[in-house]
Structure formats: structure tokens, C-alpha cells
Structure 1
Amino acid sequence: MIFIQHRTLTLTKKNLLLLVLFFLAAQLSIAQSKTGSTKAKAPVGKTSTAKPASTATKPATQQAATPAAPKPAEKLIWQTPAMQEAMAFYISQQYQQAQQKFREAAAQGESDALYFLGRMHQYRELKYDTVQIDTLIEIQNRSRFFSANTDSARYYYEMALEQNSPLGHLGMAELMVLRSDEDKQNFLQKMRAAAVRIREKAVEGDAFSNRMLGSMYYTGYGEMKDLGYAFNYLNRAANKGDIVAYTNLANLYLDGEGVEKNREKAIFWLKKGVESGDREALYTLGLLYEEGTMGEPNFDDARKLYRQAISKGSVSAYEQLRYMNQTADQKLVIASINRNPDMLERALKSKANVNTTAIPDDYEAEELHGRTPLMNTLYIPLLLEDYGVIYQPEVRPLMAGILLRNGANVNAQDSDGRTALHHTVAGARINNSQLFEQEQVQLLDTLIKYKADLNIKDKEGNTALTAALHSTSGQHLGIMELEKLLASGANPNIQNNEGKTPLILACELNSNFEIILALIQAGADPKLRDQSGKAAIDYTSHENVQNILMAAGSPTKQQ
């Protein structure tokens, strides 16, 4: 599970798993971008600022040899010897052997073993033992290749809780979807409950628990945020042979978080991870070769490392290999579609045009409608559309801020005449999500701060206010956005190409009573008629709405 993030690409992962909102798995099996989702910034190395080495070191290009059976710690940290052996296999990434021992330990009453059985399903640690990828063509079903078995994970986590394992709380937290402040509090409670057992085992010397505790200190979830403590515990984990911790530690050295920057030590730990076949080490070292951090860019060695990482299940390497040959502008567009802050910043550092409408190689122009990166970032495609990524909380505000600070044109229009405001309010909705609605208002605030014109019409004559009504079908779901637009100066009397005002449209959509009242109070004129000669009152059969309209000066309803 948790939380040290590497140089990763944002991809469709976990149907909104809220793990993405606050932390990433240390395994980072399905790699994510360092999102607002991860409230703390993930240790992503700023490779462009590192001085290049005089010579580049060749990476390992062969699959790591099968390691010998690890030697369990002499001191019995866990309840049973079987669990002790299982943990030794687990931290050395010998997952099949670890699974066998975890089952044995669980049968002997070691309830914590159930968490690890679930974890291996959630983080796809049992899928790639015999996989070798030479070309991307071999991955014919991307979603299946990278999919996790969350049902099995939940089964084991629930069983762990039934048998009083605090680590069961950790697993259930990882599976959560946060839609409200209450969900967030529940998530934090689970993390704190698990932290008690993790700290206990870390103090006793368990490598995995030291890694987890370091990750908790890094993110501030389960423990108070402290990068110095994060480094100390991750360093202990790495020196105790926890392979995943190698890359975590390398990223701290690369970024100088909790420790002084040291590229040589970072590369040492990455190469150690590569020798062990760790997918995140393979991916991260490949990225350093591609970016030329260790000398001149070495694309051949980067590709070799990416292929090995893909064979181990790295989604990040899969995406990076696909897009290596794209221009900076194309990469910026891809980053905005995939909502990947890390890739976005790297494309901007490569002098990408922040307002580009470039078409990446894998896309068609008609798919993207001439959208700018800012529009792509804000827009949540409907499920029927075959591009983009699943919504992740807090990523859009983070990326919009980056783009706007770099000069994104907030009032640019796409081929349909829509602006960033239109795309913010017009995409798919996340139902029953208080946090989503709060994020929508936050985005509107940001765009308005950067002088967004609330009354620009698209080619159908619709303003952002009209687009918001269309998107929510005029129901209470969008009331916060509507009120923000109106309070910020959106004109409620602008007519579209059919002559419909927001008030007429609201009545036609059978809008919620609050929507009608908000429009009237903002100055919507009920006397205006569309091109068919109808006023707002002619589109509603609700007597209370008709009374409101009449009181505001509406003409009598046509018979």
C-alpha cells in the first residue's frame, strides 16, 4: 500500500479509489501521478536540475535471476515462524512463496497474514511471475493486463478484521472511495488504527513495517507528516532488504526530501532495485536514462528498462514507452487528457506550448475538438467516450493551477466554441459526492480569478451557465455551481441560438425549485421568449413554479 510515489503517469486506475486521494501504494503497482490526491507531494525527482554524470552507466537488460530463498530474521517478530518466513519472501518480492507461507500462517491463527493475502491481490503481486514483454503489441487487452482483483482483496481484508487484525483497517482504507468529509474521517480513523500495529512491528525490526511507517510520515496519514522521520524509516526498510523501499529511498535522495540531495546514492538504490527486478525501480531508472539525468539521453536503454517494468506490471512504463517519440506539445496534451501533473510539468519544462491543440499520435482530431490542455484537464468525459481517465479528486485543481500559472488562456475556445468554464461544468458528474461539488466550485473560483469571461457563448449560443443546467438536467446536484456563476456575474438573460434563456431551459428541464428561485433572484427575466414564442412559464406544469414566475412579472401561461 502506501504512499511513496515515483515519476509516474496518471492512468485509469481504481474506479475512484480514494487511496488515490490521499496516498499511493508503496508498491505503486498501478502508478499514479503525484496528485492533489496524494495530498503530500510525492517524491518525484526533479531530474532536469541534476548535473549529468560524465559517463552513463549501462542498466541491467536481462530479467533478474530468481533469488535464493531469503533468510528470515533471527528474532521472531511475528506470531509464528511461518509468518516470519512469509515476510522474508514478501519483502524480497518472491510472491508465490510468500503466498504459500501466508496461507500457512493464517491457518495457524496469524490474522495479520490475511491482510497480506488480500494485499497481493489488490496490488497485482501474483500476476507477472512468468510475463516477458518485448513489444507493446503483445499487450492486447491493457485493462485486463493491469487489472487488480479487488474483490479477493476485500474478502481477505474483511476476514482479517473479523479475526482482530489491525492491518485489516489498512486494507479497507486502501479500497475506500471518498465522497464526503465523513468518508475522509472514516479513512483517517482506519489509517490511525492500522498505524498502531505498524509502529509496533517497525520498532521490533520488521522491514515492511518500517517502510509503511516511513510512508505514513511522508504523507501525514496515520502519523504526523515529517520528512526526516520518513527518510529514517525508509532507510531502515531498504537496509533490511525491503526491495520496494529501494525506489522510495532513491526518490527521497533525488528530491532532497528528508535528506540532502544525492544523485549517486539515488542511482545506487535504483540499480539495486533493478537487479531485484522491481517494476518501479526499472521504470524510474528508465526515466532517468530517457531524460539524460545521468549523461546524454539513452533511449535504447530506457526502452529496455521500460519493457522489463511492463513485464512486472508497471502501467507507468507502459505509458512512457508509448509516448517516448511524441513532441513536447503532444506530451502536454496527453498529460492533460490523462490528468498527470508530473508529465504535465515535464512537458512544460521541455518548452511545450501551454495553449497547444496538437494531436497526439494515438488520437484523432475529431476526438479532441480542438481543446487546449486546460480544457482537457477540466473536462470529465462521459463514460461512452473512449479516452481520458477516471475522475480522481483534487487532481484537476492542481493541474489547472499549473497551467494557468504558466500562461494558459482561460478564455480560449475549442472548435465548438466552448471555453474552460464550459468544460468544467459540462462533463460527467460524480453523483452523491460532496467533495466533487466542492471541487467544482473551487475550479470556478480559480478560473474566475484568472479573468474567465462567464458570458462567452459556444457555437450553439450557450454560456457556461446554460451548460451547467444541461449537465445537471437542472437538478439540485449543480446548485453550488449555479450560485457561484450567478454571484460572479453570469448573465441569466443571455439567449442561445434557439432563443432560450437559462430560466427557460430550467423550466423545460423541470428543474429543482431552488434552481428556478436562484435564477429569478439573480435577475432572470421571465418575460423573455424563445424563437417559438414561448416564455419560461410555458415550459412548466408545476403550480408553485408558475406562481414564482408570475410574481416576477411573467406573462400568463399560453393555453
Structure 2
Amino acid sequence: MKVFIKNKVLITLGLLFFTSLSAYYYIHNQSKHQQFLIASLQDNDFFIFSTSQLSGEPKTRFDYAIAKIININDSEVSYQIGSTSYRYKKDLIKAIRLDTLMIDNYFLNEIRTLSISELQTLSENGSIIELMRPTGRYLFGGLVLEEQKMKLIQPTYNLQEFNESAVESYQLGDIDTAFALFKKGAESGETWAQINLANMYIDGEGTDKNIGSAIYWLNTAYESGNPDAQPKLKLLCQEYNHLNNEICSRIL
């Protein structure tokens, strides 16, 4: 019995040590990545920030917001902040995945500036929570940048009523209704609804998490002519390549 207890204690201590070591390396690598981005800032980098810490105002329930860097010179950056704040960082990330940053007037017109040294200090003290660089036009799998210098060579998508209603419900916090409307839109051939339904399956919002279903609907949207589904589909297949999904095996 004593040997069993001793072994259990040793296993527990080993797990605690491993967890602490993993957390240390994650934080260390995250810090190095942030330092690299600050040292190599580019137009259209983004940062998540605490509205109360950045402005000095009292903290509210909705304290997370995003900013887009629009210009950089030797000593300072110019940026615009998003018009919406969020209660949790995960809520902001979900909004990004829903392409919310592409809504007209999402970013306020006011242009603000920070010196590079101020940006560094705000990153170190936690006011700037995360500095991010899009992959192509995407961040967390959501569209955040318009395509530049692209000619319209085919008709625009038809009005996708279910999708628009679903996005409105989602932004109002009615997740179940949003999921139901995205599903109706997806089944009726609305490609944006198919992409957003996939996001719901990825996060398990309004339904159980189901990566297979997410891959299916992203692939359906892409094959139906929505090119914005392809980067998200590839990212998802790369992240879950251990699932040996048939669709992913064709595109990777």
C-alpha cells in the first residue's frame, strides 16, 4: 500500500513538473514570437488589446478589442481600432472567424499612433495581449483583408438571406438560432452559410463539435464556387491530419 501511494505521489509530481515545463516553454516561445513581430512590423498586422489598460479607463465586462496597423515609419505606427469590444478573447476570435472584421465600418475612422517603444512597453505589461500577422488574407481562419488589385471576372454571389439572418442572430448572442439558420442556408446552397456552419462545428457552438462536418461543409462551399473556403479548409486539414479524412487526403 505504501509503495502504491509513493508511486502515485511520484507520478503526480512528474505530471506537475511536465505541465510546468510545457507552460514555461509555451510562454517563452510566445514572448519570442511577439518580440519578432514588433521588430518586423508590417502594414495590416493586428493586435488584441485590453481597452481599459490601453485607455486608462475603468475596466468593463467587455474589455477585449482588436486594432489594425495601417502605417509604419521608423519611430511610430498608425492604427485603427475596432468598433466592438468583447467580454472574452475567445469571443473576439470567434468574431474574426465569422469574417466580422470585413463588415463595413467595423474599424473606426479615427487614426491613432503609438511609438515603437510604447508598443513594446504595452506588449510587455499585458495591455497588448497578442500581436498577430495574417496568413495571406486570413487570421484564425477568418477573412480580415480585402484582396488587392483583383478584377471582378465573374458575377458576385447571390444574396444569401439565411446567412445574413444567421450572422445577425449570432452577433445578438442567439447562438442556437444562428446555427439553425446557417444550417438551412448551407443545405439550400448558400456558400457563406456553409463556411459559417463549418465554423460552428469547429467550435461546437449551437451543436456538438464535429471536425468531419466542418471539413465537409468547407469543401462543399469551395466546390460550389466560393474560393474563400479553400484556405480555411487547408488549415483545418493540416491541424487535424491525424483524422485521415477522405476530403483532406485529396487536397493535402
TM-score range, shorter chain: 0.3 to 0.5
Considering Cα pairs closer than 8 Å and 6+ residues apart, tell me whether 1 or 2 has the greater RCO: 1
Higher strand share: 2
Which structure would you say has the larger Rg? 1
